[in-house]
Amino acid sequence: MKKILLALCLFTVFFSCAPFPSADIAKTKLEIEGLYYADLPKYLPEDWVLLKELWQKLDEVESAKNKEEAYRLNFYINYKISQIEEKLNKKKKEEEEKILQAKKIIEEEKQRKEKIEVEQREKSTSELKISEITMEEESKEQKKIASVPKQKKTLEDIRYKIEKRMPSFYTVKEDDTLEKIAELPYIYNDKYYWPLIYKYNRDQISNPKKLYKGQILRIPRNITIDEIYKAREEAGASSFKNIPKRAYTPEKYKQMINELLLEE
């Protein structure tokens, strides 16, 4: 009981001797103004309303020259300011993270659209080139065939029929790779021939491991033994002897010519 009375006495003496806290109140108001310019009304409108109400009470206490209430209220307002500052900083950080995330999503979507546009342009360019090449080759074939008597079967006639059996172009499908394409029975029947396809399509294949669905690739025929050796070596084949019996070779090409010559 004596300690409580002593504390009350000291408290009374302090406020009776201490001057009115005008400077402290002015400092508190400056801090509230600082929060206003830090966009407190935008991020935490309820807290801003609370501070405005406390400011008004502080004005009333200051006008009444109620020293004891002025000290108490000023202390309380500073305590609330420290809490609100912490909340405001946290809120701003959250908003900044949201903005960064939104920018990231927008940028990713932009890159996705640009990638699609590039792929579409490459596909259109590829189709246009193939169309031009096909028309040019067909025109040459027709001129050569027309230049000799129809009753004679020329090597160009034979080659034309072989090209019908073994296509000179291939349209890329989903999940296709150069190895898969080369291994098809009607292409080369040997996956180690893939460098040949890559070599003859460098104008539209920048990365041999990446193809696009819908690409139209040229399939080189009438290739030489040296080209086969080089392609298989580049593809990592252990030896030339490992070529499948049905794989496309110049010998196979000659065999097909002989078969077609015997047809008539």
Q: What is the pLDDT of residues 222-250, one digit of tens each?
A: 788 888 888 888 888 754 555 555 566 65
Give me 58's structure tokens.
Answer: 């502080």
Confidence of residue 7 (pLDDT cuts 50, 70, 90): very low
Q: Please give the helix or strand (H or E) that residue 260 lies within, else none.
A: helix 250-261
Q: Which residues, in sequence order, are bridge partners of residue 216? A: 171
pTM for this one?
Answer: 0.36
Q: Which residues contact 255 (CB under 8 A, 6 or more apart)?
A: none
Residue 171 parent element (H or E) = strand 169-171
CA 111 to chain centre: 5
Q: State mean pLDDT over 46-68.
A: 87
| 8 A C-beta contact, residue 158 and residue 260 | yes
Query: Which has the higher per-residue pLDDT, 43 or 257?
Result: 43
| Strand intervals (E) in the chain | 169-171, 216-218
- Full set of structural domains in the chain with CATH: 18-98 (no CATH), 125-261 (3.10.350.10)
**Assigned token pair, 202:** 């460098």
Task: Say if residue 259's pLDDT is above 70.
Answer: no
Q: What pLDDT does 11 receive?
A: 44
Question: How many angstroms separate the CA atoms of 75 and 60, rounded?
Answer: 16
